[in-house]
Amino acid sequence: MKKWIPIVSGLLVGFIAATISFADFSGKTNTEAASSNKSNAEKVYVPFGQKDDYYLFASGGHSGQMFIYGVPSMRKIRTIPVFSQDSATGYGFDEHSKKLMGGYTWGDLHHPAFSETKGDYDGKWMFATDVGNSRAAVVDLKTFTTKDIIKVPNTAGPHCAAFVTENTEYMFLPTRFAVPVGQKYESLDDYSQKYRGVMSAVTFDEKNVKLNIAYQVALPPWSYDLSDAGKKGSADWAVMTTYNTEESTTTMEVNASQADRDYIVLFNWKELEKMVKEGKYEDVDGQKMIYPEKQKGGIYLVPVAKSPHGVDVTPDGKFFIASGKLAPTMTVFSFEKAFKAVENKEFAGERNGIPILNYKSVMEREVNPENALGPLHTQFDDKGMAYTTMFISSEIVKWDPKTGKTLDRVPVQYSPGHSVAAEGDTVSPDGHWLVALNKIAKDTYLSVGPSHPESMQLIDISGKMKVILSAPVDPEPHYAQMIKADKIKTINVYPKDTKNPDAVYKQNDTKIVRKGNEVHVYGIAMRSRFIFDHKAKRPDVIEVNQGDHVFIHLTNIDFDEDITHGFAINSYDLNMEVQPGQTNTMEFTADKAGTFPIYCTNFCSALHQEMNGYFLVKPKN
Amino acid sequence: MNDSRKRHKLSITSSLLITVSAILIVVSLFFPWWKMVFYAPQYPEGLNIIVYPNKLQGEIDIINGLNHYIGMSNFSKENFPELSYLSYLIGGLAVLTLLTAILRNKKVLYGLIGIITIGGVVGVLDLHFALQKYGTNLSPKAPIKIDPFVPPIIGQNTVANFTTHSLLGTGIYFVIAAFILLLIPLWKDRKK
């Protein structure tokens, strides 16, 4: 009789209790409304326990490194050594990284580029180029370490970005400096005949983590500046800006600034790929070289206001925007119009054997914000609006590529080169944040003498543009990319690799093996000791004879996140690191006799100071 | 005679309860029975030693890497021979329970409850002595000298910068549930 009353009321009470305990009453609309009322400080404050929404990967320029920042806090998180030695991580000291460096000690890391899937960052790999020593590199985003470096022949200074195609089919490396093929000696009087601006098509073998050069294109001896791959409907195409089409060979500041128009090189990489497949190339020292004046097709020139810097494809893939640098204009070009012009052969002659498209038949509109000077580079937000850095008038200008109307502008301190918006060069930019990469900091931070750091300024672009934070940065970010943090999946420790003959995971497997004058040490590092030979009277001592060739294979058997060990030999100029679970090798000749302490350089534990041993080198006589 | 047999016979419901009990005992084999979580300022996420009837899981390597600092020996399957046969004992117990369900004899049930009670006590003592051995048998050469200690089977303990929490695992709750299921028939089929 009325048995259901207690049952129903019981359920009801339980339900209410559960709702009160677990329901999230902080609705999304509430937080969003609150965020617009936040002060600048509140917008960038990321308390302990929370993390930034974005990773910012900034090129480190002539430091040869890459800098990782968190956005919006603008806290620096990590330096990744890529083209330069870094004793802090042993990069360029251990065998793997020493080989990658190829004998060079520094590099000039310019434009970073994430691997992409369907035109969006996939968070797996990061590519970079070295203007200093003509190399390209790939960084693994599982470990934030450099995995491969390739030296690019026939080219000198692949400045203009490693820019990747929509599904990372290719990374193109156009060159800043023209040199003779093979970088042979040729008189500068023969510049126009003997010099070339070679562009390389680099492929990435993801399985073996290897970069390869698929083919090269011997473009005219001009300087190639920035570039971008097409998207969606223009995915098979790519664009890059040129300057010094004057082919001047001295005082370029003046001589390369004479012609009223330079060019955008527009090329179809699918067509170039086909030409290579059909054997339409010449073999130049093992490289497949396309000479555009001989192997015709696939490459066109689009006239553009003189000495342009940036060329950026809109997220919808319909337009490319060139920035004038010396001219105050941004020019919006239409891919569709360009394709039609190519089809109808609307050419205005040729330059160095490459057809020139008629400017008028490709140009969509010229955009000229009032008093804005020195447009360099454009990023986009989630609504497709363009943000262009103005180097000379030191500001960011927001404008609509569809109408050319200026929407907003904000001064930055000072002289922005590039800027980076959240995923701002993909098919689906996120909006909200933009970081201006300023070349001059001057009076922004506490003075450190005549020269100052560069400056990165965080701009909230969710409403009216507002600079809300400045962060100093070492020389020198040229370009950066900003990726949603959850796209990157790092590992906590290196997994055991039982197939690695150099790895030792058990204390009892440690040993020192001598083969003639080669000494192989199979050791481990753990909190807080080294064990090189568990059977020895002193397991943390390595004793060799002067002149011996020494290989030290060291495995960190602390499979514990962030327990990294260092390994240095005092006065032997050697240091490397082993991250948790990692095996690394150091190879050198023990040419100095004497007694040399070994110690852990990366503070690991309470008894880190005790984590040491001796490297004893017996004199020859 | 017939009457007395009837008095010792368990009801069908009881038999079913005992069958469920047998199943729960088998199920418990696939869950951890006991665990210890180590928290330290540097390990806010906690390091685990998770004990299954047949294996150890958790961050054993990390814990073993650390415990030499206080001179404690390593946790490993080799140091716990119980893990190599415990699951067979538990399996055997499940078979006995199932037999009890089939025989439906009260005396057999008394016997089973007795075995489980003794097994439980032995198990608790075994774990206690293992913990005592680890906590009191510290190497005199350890870099950090601490007083010998015995962590509790359930509850907290503090060792250097670590706070340990000993907890019962899901598996043991299944066993407790199984045990309760065995007690119900005693009350249900009590002499009226």
3-class SS letters over A235-262: CCEEEEEEECCCCCCCCHHHHCCCCCEE
Burial class of A451 by CB neighbour count within 10 A (0 to 12, 13 to 18, 19+): exposed
Q: Which residues of B touch A559 (CB under 8 A)?
A: 61-62
3-state SS assignment for residue A230: coil
pLDDT score at B188: 85
Q: Which residues 6+ apart lie within 8 Å of A562 measured at CB?
A: A580
pLDDT score at A29: 45
Instruction: Please compute the mean of the pLDDT values over residues A53-82 and round it to a whole number.
Output: 97
Instruction: Please compute the mean of the pLDDT values over residues A550-570 and round it to a whole number.
Output: 97
Q: B62 and A557: CB-CB below 8 Å? A: no
Q: Residue length, chain B?
A: 192
Q: Which residues of A touch B66 (CB under 8 A)?
A: 527
pLDDT band at B123 (very low <50, low <70, confident <90, very high): very high
Amino acid at A234: S
Bridge-based pairing of strands B43-51 and B34-40 is antiparallel
pLDDT score at A96: 96
pLDDT score at A28: 45
Burial class of A158 by CB neighbour count within 10 A (0 to 12, 13 to 18, 19+): buried
Report chain B residues touching chain A, CB-CB < 8 A: 59, 61-62, 65-66, 69, 143-144
pLDDT score at A32: 47
CA distance A558 to chain B (A): 7
pLDDT band at A4 (very low <50, low <70, confident <90, very high): low
* Torsion region of A36: left, alpha or beta (phi above 0 gives left; psi -120 to 50 gives alpha): alpha
The Cα A226–Cα A376 span in angstroms is 10
For A422-460, what is each residue's pLDDT tens digit?
999 999 999 999 999 999 998 999 999 999 999 999 999
CA distance B60 to chain A (A): 10
pLDDT score at A464: 96
Amino acid at A96: H
For A195-234, what is each residue's pLDDT tens digit?
999 999 999 999 999 999 999 999 999 999 999 999 999 9
Q: Is the pLDDT of residue A22 over 90?
A: no
pLDDT score at B192: 57
Q: Which residues of A touch B62 (CB under 8 A)?
A: 558-560
The Cα A542–Cα A547 span in angstroms is 14
Higher pLDDT, A34 or B33: B33
User: In this structure, which long-range contacts are made by residues B59-65, counting pairs with CB atoms below 8 Å and at least 24 apart in sequence?
Assistant: B59/A560, B61/A557, B61/A559, B62/A558, B62/A559, B62/A560, B63/B38, B65/A526, B65/A527, B65/A557, B65/A558, B65/A560
The Cα A175–Cα A160 span in angstroms is 7
Q: Is the pLDDT of residue B7 over 70?
A: no
pLDDT band at A30 (very low <50, low <70, confident <90, very high): very low
The lowest-confidence range among A152-161, A207-216, A411-420 is A152-161
Q: Which domains does chain A have, with CATH numbers?
A: 54-487 (2.130.10.10), 507-618 (2.60.40.420)
Q: Is the pLDDT of residue A15 over 80?
A: no
Instruction: Please compute the mean of the pLDDT values over residues A547-572 and round it to a whole number.
Output: 97
For A535-555, what is each residue's pLDDT tens digit?
999 999 999 999 999 999 999
Q: How many CB atoms lie within 10 A of CB A496?
A: 14
Q: Is the pLDDT of residue B61 over 60?
A: yes
The Cα A160–Cα A204 span in angstroms is 18
Q: In the predicted model, what is the mean pLDDT of chain A?
A: 93
Q: Which residues of A touch B60 (CB under 8 A)?
A: none
pLDDT band at A416 (very low <50, low <70, confident <90, very high): very high
The Cα A439–Cα A449 span in angstroms is 16
Q: Residue length, chain A?
A: 621
Share of chain B above pLDDT 70, in %: 95
Q: Is the pLDDT of residue A584 over 70?
A: yes
The Cα A323–Cα A334 span in angstroms is 15
Q: Is the pLDDT of residue A166 over 50?
A: yes
3-class SS letters over A464-503: CCEEEEEEEECCCCCCEEEEEHHHCCCCCCCCCCCCCCCC
Nearest CA in chain A to B68: A527
pLDDT score at A14: 52
Interface test with B, best of A496, A531, A560, A561 (most B CBs within 10 A): A560
Instruction: Please compute the mean of the pLDDT values over residues A69-97 and round it to a whole number.
Output: 97
Share of chain A above pLDDT 90, in %: 88
